[in-house]
Amino acid sequence: MTQEISSQPNKNRVMGFWRVWGLAVGCSIGSGIFMMPTLLAPYGMLGLSSWLVAGGGTVLIALTLARLASRIPKVGGLYAYADEGLGSMAGFIVAWCYWISCLTAVASVSIAFVSYLSAYFPELGENNKIGLIACLSLIWLITFLNIRSVKESSTFQLITTFLKIVPLLLIALFGIINMQPEMLPEYNPTELSPIAAISAATMLVMWSFLGIESATVPADNVIEPEKTIPRAIIASVLTILALYILVSLAVSLTVPTSELQNSTAPFKLAAERIMGPIGAIIVTLGALLSTIGSLNANTLLCGQMPFAIAKNGLFPAPFKRLSKNGTPTFGLLVSGTIVSILLVMNYTKGLVGAFTFLVMMATLATLMAYTLCAVSEFYFLKQDKSSSAKTRAIILGLGTFVYSLFCIWGAGQEIVFYSFFLILLGLPIYVLQRKIV
């Protein structure tokens, strides 16, 4: 079972409400939102409605995680909840999948950052070797920032989170002022049924919401985690949902659907229409801030998750060692090395498609973790006394469970199969470590 929260010295508890909020919001608002209008354009109005479906589902997930965080305020977040409720194997599967998801996110977000930066330095996009060196340099710069101290990393996270929100708010404000209602897309331009179309669009949109669970992971570094984490989770989801809906409407009501479908930079296109040439600069800066904030948040999690598993003897012992500043240095170095390998693979001809597919599997892996956490909540509720609060919690857990399955269904059979294969890859580590223990 997971370690008690008192295992971490109080001097390392440096994250209050705003730092935890900054971690969750910063991890969620990354490169995904900047391409979402293009990805959703083929789904018409149903694509826009998927924001409400995904937002409502994410609120359910957030409320479930908030209850679990109050009940089990321990490092590891999703892992701790599954481990306590369903046993060590379920906990390991959740942690393994989530770690892989974070590693892949770090690699993909670093590429997105360099891609946006190539608007100012074209050679980054034209020369693969230069682009790769830039990505690797960025990865290790952020890795060493996280190794230095959790406090400095979380401060950096909070600053970039506030800064990244400003450009998005400007686009939302000016877009709504200059909106043209006649540009609203048709209801369902696809050949799919409405339910199937919404499910497919919701799976895409969920990539923009993934990260809110990050608030639960570094519990050992959070001040009064049983109170701070639930509040930060709910606040972060409401912040993200409001921002996403506003900016999506602003873009959809200022740029025709036909142009959105063929655009590789929909926000830049909308900003140029709304604010002129300066709009493109604002969006590029916003994208850079969003990606580097998301990169920092995911890097922090890459060290915290294996640290949580190692504390319970389910991962090699070096991963649980902390530096004098309370950072899991070994885990961060190993994670940085794996991400570097992924980047080299991505820049090797013929592997780009495979890398993109891995990102999709990582998204699904996080949804599977949500599902297992909802099941864990049922286990804990079984022990609670009957009350109206318990009834509401049961309904909430069922909603989270059904919504997660709904999104997984939208991913398709092939991705589900390969995600299951990803889980199997981690089981030998679990078996070997159990024997050692």
Say if residue 235's pLDDT is above 50: yes
Read off the pLDDT band of 75 (50, 70, 90). Answer: low
Res. 3 pLDDT band, cuts 50 70 90: very low
* φ and ψ of 15, to 5 deg: -100, 115
Task: Give the pLDDT score at 282.
Answer: 78
The yes-or-no verdict on residue 7 having pLDDT over 70 is no
Domain limits, the chain: 9-436
Provide the pLDDT for residue 356.
54
Tokens of 282: 């604002």
pLDDT at 335: 92
Biggest alpha carbon distance in the chain? 66
Q: Is the pLDDT of residue 53 over 90?
A: no
Q: Name the band, by pLDDT with cuts 50, 70 and 90, for residue 332.
A: very high
Q: Average pLDDT for residues 337-362, to the nearest whole number?
A: 65
The predicted pLDDT at position 31 comes to 62
The pair of three-digit structure tokens given for residue 238, joined into one six-digit string: 């409401």
Across 353-360, average pLDDT: 56
Task: Quick: pLDDT tens for 244-270.
Answer: 888 888 888 887 777 777 665 677 777
- Does position 38 have pLDDT exceeding 80, yes or no? no
**CB atoms closer than 10 angstroms to residue 213:** 26
pLDDT of residue 359: 61
Task: Provide CATH code, domain 9-436.
Answer: 1.20.1740.10
The CA distance from 267 to 418, in Å, is: 32
Higher pLDDT, 32 or 62: 62
| 282-288 CB contacts, 8 Å cutoff, 24+ apart | 282/167, 282/170, 282/171, 283/34, 283/167, 283/171, 284/116, 284/119, 284/120, 285/167, 286/164, 286/166, 286/167, 286/168, 286/171, 287/31, 287/34, 287/112, 287/116, 288/113, 288/116, 288/117
